[in-house]
Amino acid sequence: MFGARIGSSVLLDTVDITDPALVSIGDEVVIAEGVLVQSHEVKNGILSLHPIKIGKCSSIGPYAVVQKGSVVGESVEIQALQKVGGGDHVLKPDKVNNINKNADLPVINSKTQYDAIYHFIGIYLVGFLSSLAAAIAYFIYIKFSKQPPSLQHFSFVCICGAFHWIPFTIIAYATMFSDVPSNPITFAMTFTSAYLL
């Protein structure tokens, strides 16, 4: 990926790797959505570049920031929305290394059994609420603009609300509309408003 050294079985769910040639990712690493991996910094008009190394079996949570010169050790978990500053070395905690191999596994109580179900419901609720908000915005638009309702436009807006990721919006637009407006400003405004929903 543009010069980044990436190991095998890596789950890479971000597009925010600013300097791929300076990034080294080990095997079986999970990098969640929205993680910013930034190998450069501009301070007082001076650009400085330092490589970033992420050790094997590590996990970086959603929307975390890994800055220039950081070294994330093996089997390290960086929580969501956390920042690993420039030059920081994050190592695996000692207490994880000292776990008794013959220890009994913890008993799963009913609370932890339902946590997975709640997380699953939460994922789909985000898409549902986004689609609902897009539908409400569409109905407000047709009410104030006195435009006739269009099932094609309504379904496009709802799909863009549910999948608020730009490639899905492009694919939905390309497949749902056979006639693209010839005016580029009309196309850009339609596309931008659908994406912002």
Q: What is the pLDDT of residues 25-51, one digit of tens each?
A: 999 999 988 899 998 888 888 888 999
User: Is the confidence at residue 188, as pLDDT, over 80?
Assistant: no
Please report the pLDDT score of residue 180 as a whole number. 58
Distance of alpha carbon 35 from the chain centroid: 7
Measured distance CA(141)–CA(29) in Å, rounded: 44
Structure letter (DSSP) for residue 60: E
3-state secondary structure of 135: helix
Residue that finishes a domain, picked among 92, 120, 153: 92
Res. 87: pLDDT tops 50? yes
Check: CB of residue 30 under 8 Å from CB of residue 6.
no
Q: What domain range includes position 49?
A: 5-92
Answer yes or no: do 49 and 116 share one domain: no
* Residue at 99 is within a domain: no
The Cα–Cα gap between 6 and 29 comes to 9
Which CATH number goes with the domain that contains 18? 2.160.10.10
- Tokens encoding 8: 């095998």
pLDDT band at 95 (very low <50, low <70, confident <90, very high): very low
Domain co-membership, 56 together with 116: no
Does a structural domain hold residue 104?
no
Residue 63 has pLDDT above 80, yes or no: yes
pLDDT for residue 27: 92
Q: Are 29 and 7 in contact (CB under 8 A)?
A: yes
Q: Identify whether 15 is part of a domain.
A: yes
Q: What is the average pLDDT across 121-126?
A: 78
Provide the number of structural domains found in the chain: 2
* 114 and 188 both lie in a single domain: yes
**77-78 β-sheet, strand order:** 11-12, 30-31, 59-60, 77-78
**Residue ending a domain, choose from 92, 123, 158:** 92
Nearest CA-CA partner of 172 in 128, 140, 131: 131
Q: Are residues 70 and 129 in the same domain?
A: no
First CA to last CA distance, the chain: 31
For residue 88, report the phi and psi dihedrals to the nearest 5 degrees. -75, 145
Question: Poorest-confidence range of 39-48, 90-99, 134-143?
Answer: 90-99
Same domain, 88 and 148: no
Asked if residue 66 and residue 135 are part of one domain, the reply reads: no
Residue 86's nearest CA partner among 60, 66, 72 is: 66
The last residue of one of the domains, among 58, 92, 126, is 92
Residue 137 placed within a domain: yes
